[in-house]
Amino acid sequence: MKKTPLYDLHLALGGKIIDFGGWALPVEYEGIIKEHEAVRSAAGLFDVSHMGEIIVQGPNAQNYLQKMLTNDLSPMQNFQVYYSFLCYPNGGVVDDLIVYRYNPEYYLLVVNASNKDKDYEWLKQHEEGQITITDASEQYAQFAIQGPQAQTILQTLCDTDLNEINFFRFLPELLVAGIPVLISRTGYTGEDGFEIYLDPSKAPALWQVLLEKGKNHGLLPIGLGARDTLRFEAALPLYGHEISADITPYEAGLGFFVKTIKEDFVGKEALINQKEIGVPRKLVAFEMIDRGIPRNGYEVQADGLRIGYVTTGGFAPFLKKNIGLALIESIHAQEEGILEIVVRKKKLKAKIIPKPFYQKRYKRT
Amino acid sequence: MNIIKDIKYTVSHEWIRIEGNTARIGITDFAQNQMGTLVFVELPEVDDEVGKGSPLAVVESVKAASDVYAPLSGTITEINEALADNPELINEEPYESWLVTLELSNPSEVAELIDSAEYEKLCQQGE
ipTM over 0.95 threshold: no
Residue A304 lies in a domain: yes
- Position A251 scores a pLDDT of 98
Residue A128 lies in a domain: yes
Q: What's the domain range around A109?
A: 52-137
Give me the phi and psi of A188, to 5 degrees please.
Answer: -140, 40
* Residue B34 distance to chain A (closest CA, Å): 10
Name the domain count of chain A: 3
Inter-residue contact B70 to B52 (CB < 8 Å): yes
Q: Which of A18, A25, A32, A319 to mutate to test the interface with B (most CBs of B within 10 A)?
A: A32
Name the domain count of chain B: 1
- For residue A31, the chain B residues in CB contact (below 8 A) are 36-37
Cα–Cα dist A139/B59, whole Å: 42
The last residue of a domain, from among A137, A168, A196: A137
Q: What's the domain range around B20?
A: 8-126
Same domain? A36 vs A144: yes
Residue A272 lies in a domain: no
Element spanning B122, H or E: helix B116-126
Q: How many Cβ contacts (< 8 angstroms) between chains A and B?
A: 35
What CATH number did the domain enclosing A324 receive? 2.40.30.110
pLDDT of B127 > 70? The answer is no
**Nearest-5° angle of CA A340, CA A343, CA A346?**
75
Question: A17 touching B, CB under 8 A?
Answer: no
Burial of A300 (0-12, 13-18, 19+ CB in 10 A): buried
Hey, which residues 297-356 in chain A have their CB within 8 Å of chain B? 314-315, 317, 322, 344
Same domain? A296 vs A324: yes
- For residue B86, the chain A residues in CB contact (below 8 A) are none
pTM of the predicted structure, to 2 decimals: 0.94
Inter-chain CB proximity A293 and B36 less than 8 Å: no
Q: For residue range A24-79, what is the model confidence (pLDDT) as tens digits?
A: 999 999 999 999 999 999 999 999 999 999 999 999 999 999 999 999 999 999 99
Element spanning A118, H or E: helix A116-125
Residue A172 lies in a domain: yes
Same domain? A216 vs A347: no
What CATH number did the domain enclosing A161 receive? 3.30.1360.120
Confidence of residue B125 (pLDDT cuts 50, 70, 90): confident
What CATH number did the domain enclosing B95 receive? 2.40.50.100
Inter-chain CB proximity A317 and B42 less than 8 Å: no
> Which residues in chain A land under pLDDT 50?
none
Cα–Cα dist A328/A317, whole Å: 25
pLDDT of B9 > 70? The answer is yes
Spell out the SS3 assignment of A74-101. Answer: CCCCCCEEEEEEEECCCCCEEEEEEEEE
Cα–Cα dist A200/A189, whole Å: 23
- Position B1 scores a pLDDT of 81
The last residue of a domain, from among A77, A108, A137: A137
Residue A200 lies in a domain: yes
- Position A154 scores a pLDDT of 98
Residue B77 lies in a domain: yes
CA distances from A85 to A137, A152, A174, A202, A260 (A): 19, 32, 29, 31, 13
Residue A117 lies in a domain: yes
Query: Mean pLDDT throughout B28-54?
Result: 95
Residue A96 lies in a domain: yes
- For residue A32, the chain B residues in CB contact (below 8 A) are 36-37, 61-63
Element spanning A285, H or E: strand A281-288
Same domain? A126 vs A195: no
Residue B1 lies in a domain: no
